[in-house]
Structure 1
Amino acid sequence: MEIDRFKQQHVDILQGIAALRKFSQAGIQENATEIARQVKALGSVVTLHLAVEDRILYPSLQKGADLKLAEMGRAYEEDMKGIANEFIAFSRKWSVAKTVAEKAEEFRAEANSVLKVLHSRMQRENTEFYPAIEAA
C-alpha cells in the first residue's frame, strides 16, 4: 500500500505544531492573530488527514489478507477517535484571535495537552504503524 501521502501529511501536521509552539513561546497575546491562523490551518490538515485515513487507509487494511495489520489498523482507528474529538474541539475554540488573546493561559494549557497527545500519536504512527504497513 502506498502511504507517502499520509507520511507527508504527518510532516505538515508536525510542522504546524512546531509553528504553534514557536508563536506561543514568543508571546501568546502578542501573536494571537498568527496563533489563531495556525490553529485553523492545522485543523484543516488534521481534518483532511483523518478523512483520508477513515475512507482509504483503515478500510484497505480491513480488506487485506494480513490479519495482524488489520487488527493494528482497528486499534489505531479506535484510539484516534478520542484524540480527533479533542483536537477538533481545540481547533474550533482557538481559531479566533480574540479568544486566544483574552484567554492566553487557558490556550497554553490546552495546547500543551492536546498537541502533545497529537504529536505523540503522529510519532507512534511514523515509527510503528506506517513501517508495518510498508513491510506488508
Structure 2
Amino acid sequence: MNIDKFKQQHLDILAAIDALRTLARAGVAGQAPAIAAQIVAMSGLIKLHLAVEQRYLYPAVQGSGMASLVRMGHRYETEMDGIAGAYLAFASRWNTALRLEAEPEQFRSEANTVLHALYQRMRREDHELYPAIEAMAPARMAA
C-alpha cells in the first residue's frame, strides 16, 4: 500500500499547526480573526486525513492478514477516536474570533494540550505504523 499521501497530509497538518502557533505567539486577541480562520482551514485538512484513514488505511491494515499489524491498526484506530473527538471539540469551540478575544489564555491552554496530543500521534504513526505498513509485501495489502 502506498502511503505517501498520508505522509504528505501529516506534513500539511504540521505546517498548519506551526502557522497557528506563529499567529498565537503574535497575540491571541490581536490575531483572533486569523487564528479562527487558521483553525477552520486546519480542521479541513484534519477531517480529510481522518476520513481517508477510515476509508482506506484501516480497512487495508485489517485485511492484511498479519496479526501484529492488525492489532496495531486496531489500537491506532481506537485511540484516534479520542484524539479526533478532542480536536473537533477544540476546533468547534475556538473557530470564532469573539471567543478567542474573550478567552485567550484558555485558548492557549487547550491548544497546547490538544495540538500536542495530535502532534505526538502523527509522530507515532510516522515512526511505527507507517513503517510497519511499508515493510509488508505489497501483495499482502489490498490498496
Q: TM-score, normalised by structure 2?
A: 0.93
Residue 118 of structure 1 deviates from its aligned partner by 0.3
Q: Deviations over 1:73-108 (max 9, x none)?
A: 000001101000000001111111111111111100
Q: Deviations over 1:44-89 (max 9, x none)?
A: 1111111111111001111112221111100000110100000000
State how 1:38-117 maps to structure 2 within 5 Å: 38-117=38-117
Structure 2 match to 1:21:
21
Q: Distance in 1 between matches of 2:135 and 2:42?
A: 29
Structure 2 match to 1:35:
35
Q: Distance in 2 between matches of 1:71 and 1:64?
A: 11
Q: Distance in 2 between matches of 1:93 and 1:45?
A: 17
Structure 1 match to 2:127:
127
Q: Give the CA RMSD over aligned residues.
A: 0.7
Structure 1 match to 2:118:
118
Identity of paired residues, percent? 49
Gaps of at least 5 residues in structure 2 are 137-143
Q: Distance in 2 between matches of 1:127 and 1:32?
A: 34
The AA in structure 2 aligned to 1:87 is Y
Secondary structure of the residue that 2:29 maps to in structure 1? coil
Q: Deviations over 1:10-63 (max 9, x none)?
A: 001111111111111111111111110111111111111111111110011111
Q: Distance in 1 between matches of 2:93 and 2:41?
A: 13
Q: TM-score, normalised by structure 1?
A: 0.97
